[in-house]
Amino acid sequence: MKLSVPIYHLKRKAKLLSRKEDIPLHRALDRIALQEGYSGWSLLAAKLSKSRPAKALFARLTPGDLLLLGARPGQGKTLMSLELAVEAMKAGNRAVFFTLEYTEKDVLDRFHAIGADYAQFDGLFQFDCSDGISASYIMEKLSSAPRGTLVVIDYLQLLDQKRENPELGVQVRALKSFARDRGLVIVFISQIHRSYDPTKKSFPDTRDIRLPNPVDLQLFSKTCFLNNGECSF
């Protein structure tokens, strides 16, 4: 069954419905799914899972990689990062999510949004929303992380928010060395500059990354950009 609009539009509608009627996101998603002809969001998500790019993207990631995942707001950056985390956990690896944007409940709700059963990954997923998130904090928390752990940093620019932290480029370089030495995969969600115009360019690229302070983007071994329900890898 073909969806009435792209999946990211449906997720956005569910968020708005959740806020408007003060109901949990998973209930809002189920109601949107009903409108699309599915008995629940899990069935809708399962149908789409075969065509999701996350599985193919995860297969191309190797220990030591730094992936830059960028898009304008509402294009699915967080959901894509969680889909990568799910792929890692399906392979028996751990996943760690660092964020200042979301609460743990927000993130758990988004597992439902991608049709994943969080319960089956008990012990493999770790959430951290400490105000002290920085490269040194992340490396300390991951000091005993096993090889193959997938780490999501939501988002790149948050490392640059406190003056007492080292420059962003210094932090990214430190994390690159750390990921290589420990065999981790680190996914940096990134903001895109408002000047990006999708009518002139199908996808944003590294030139559109919003950087308050300079950082050598060649430190990232792979990039993925999202727009209008599609991705460019």
Percent of the chain with pLDDT over 90: 65
Side chain identity at 149, as an amino acid letter?
T
Per-residue pLDDT tens digits for 95-147:
999 999 899 988 888 888 888 888 889 899 999 999 999 999 999 999 999 99
Whether the CB-CB separation of 56 and 232 falls below 8 Å is answered with no
Per-residue pLDDT tens digits for 38-48:
998 888 877 76
In-domain check, residue 217: yes
Which range of residues forms the domain containing residue 23?
7-49
Phi then psi for residue 70, to 5 deg, are -125, 150
- How high is the mean pLDDT of the chain? 91
| pTM of this prediction exceeds 0.85 | no
Total domains present in the chain? 2
Instruction: Concatenate the DSSP letters of all residues of 84-109 into one string.
Output: HHHHHHHTT--EEEEESS--HHHHHH
- Reply yes or no on whether the pLDDT at 186 is more than 90: yes
Side chain identity at 30, as an amino acid letter?
D
In-domain check, residue 173: yes
Binning the chain into helix, strand and coil, the percentages to the nearest 5 are 45, 15, 40
- Residue 45 sits in the same domain as residue 122: no
Rg (CA), the chain: 17
Per-residue pLDDT tens digits for 16-26:
999 999 999 88
Q: For position 122, what pLDDT does the model report?
A: 83
Residues facing residue 95 across a β-bridge? 125, 150
- Residue 121 sits in the same domain as residue 184: yes
Q: For position 163, what pLDDT does the model report?
A: 86
In-domain check, residue 1: no
Per-residue pLDDT tens digits for 210-229:
998 889 999 999 999 999 87
SS3 44: helix
